[in-house]
Amino acid sequence: MTGQFKRHPSKENGVWRINNSSLDLIQTCFRKAQFTFQNPDIETGSVATAFGSAIHKAMEAYYLAPRGSRNADIMKEAFDGYIKTSSIEVPLEGEARSVKSGHIILDAYHATYGDDSFEVYCDESGPFVERSLTAQISPAITFYGQVDLVLRNTINGQLYLFDHKTTSSLSGFAGRATPNHQLTGYIYLLRSAGLDISNAILQGIKVTKFARSSPEFMRVEAYRSSDEIADWQEWVNFTTSAWELANATDQYLMTGSKACTTYGGCRFKDVCSAPKNMRTDLLSLLATKTMEIEE
């Protein structure tokens, strides 16, 4: 994963090219964004990321298959295929995110959603899977992203942006669908590409060792109105303008300190805590440690 960080905003001919991940990181903390964008080799992969990507590949294969022939083995084959080629080693068993737990999840998913009326939407370019899209937010901003999956309800023809999230708890998961800038931004991209779409499905998948519990799922449907999309566009414009100001003034201020400790803590916490004249050396040391871990 080293050197493969994909959230860097760039500016060419006066136009910013930016995606949801970079916008979210900028709003989380300007300084964390600066360190991350300027030091891509410090960004590493994780078992959680590899596991989630493998689940995505399983979902993709499942909904690409004809409805009458879907089964858990289709998902497990795609899941295993991704794990084998991943640069991140996912344990075979014993952990919540392991090959064994993945198979248990996929068996349960088919048992729960085997009668789904959804199929992958296809257009003149083929199945709408992992489709890279761009759209002009304003004369100064191009927004881009990769839409993983668009599904079509075979009963009424309605289109849905489909996104899954693996999580250790489904408590409060329903509230993650709205507001959700990622879903809104992707619906904007899809509309800009000519699709008649306003709905999304956020699929929650609880991850655990399953020693004493069974897999749990939560499916949340979300709708995006034109007003919500307009609000999202204002957020993109504001955040991009703020980042441009930070670049112009070389002022990358920390945001709220809560970001320093959330989700296990920021990898740059020790760098920010050090005197300013030591930070460059500490960043180099952090990059060296990252390379040693990956080797």
Q: How far apart are CA 6 and CA 21, in angstroms?
A: 8
Q: What is the mean pLDDT of residues 27-31?
A: 92
With a cut of 90, say whether residue 15 has pLDDT above it.
Answer: yes
Question: What is the chain's length?
Answer: 295
Six token digits for residue 264: 């296990």
What does residue 191 show for φ and ψ, rounded to 5 degrees?
-65, -40
Residue ranges covered by each domain of the chain: 15-44+256-294, 47-232
User: Which residues pair with residue 136 across a beta bridge?
Assistant: 142
Rounded to whole angstroms, what are the CA distances from 236 to 61, 114, 131, 142, 192?
A: 33, 38, 21, 10, 16
With a cut of 70, say whether residue 2 has pLDDT above it.
Answer: no
Query: Which pLDDT score, from 0 to 100, does residue 47 have?
Result: 92
Query: Which pLDDT score, from 0 to 100, does residue 6 have?
Result: 54
With a cut of 60, say whether residue 111 has pLDDT above it.
Answer: yes
Task: Summarize pLDDT for 211-266 with one digit per residue, the tens.
Answer: 677 899 999 999 999 999 999 999 999 999 999 999 999 999 988 788 888 877 88
Rounded to whole angstroms, what are the CA distances from 275 to 64, 109, 255, 260, 270?
A: 54, 51, 18, 17, 10
User: Which pLDDT band, with edges at 50, 70 and 90, does 1 fall under?
Assistant: very low
The sign of the CA dihedral 114, 120, 121, 126 is negative
CA 102 to mean position of chain CA atoms: 19
Query: Which pLDDT score, from 0 to 100, does residue 7 have?
Result: 63
With a cut of 90, say whether residue 8 has pLDDT above it.
Answer: no
With a cut of 50, say whether residue 120 has pLDDT above it.
Answer: yes
Average per-residue pLDDT for the chain? 91
What does residue 101 show for φ and ψ, rounded to 5 degrees?
-65, -35
Query: Which pLDDT score, from 0 to 100, does residue 289 have?
Result: 63
pTM above 0.85, yes or no: yes
DSSP strands (E only) in the chain: 10-12, 15-19, 118-120, 122-123, 126-127, 129-138, 141-153, 159-167, 199-206, 217-223
Q: What is the mean pLDDT of residues 107-126?
A: 96
User: Which residues pair with residue 129 across a beta bridge?
Assistant: 149
What does residue 231 show for φ and ψ, rounded to 5 degrees?
-60, -40
Name the class of domain 47-232: alpha beta
Task: Summarize pLDDT for 163-211 with one digit per residue, the tens.
Answer: 999 999 999 999 999 999 999 999 999 999 999 999 999 999 999 888 6
Query: Which pLDDT score, from 0 to 100, does residue 43 have?
Result: 64
Query: Which pLDDT score, from 0 to 100, does residue 291 have?
Result: 43
Query: Which pLDDT score, from 0 to 100, does residue 211 have?
Result: 66
Task: Summarize pLDDT for 43-63 with one digit per residue, the tens.
Answer: 667 899 999 999 999 999 999
Residues 155-177, buried b or exposed e (16+ Cβ, 10 A)?
Answer: eeeebbbbbbbbbeeeeebeebb
Q: How far apart are CA 160 and CA 152, in angstroms?
A: 6
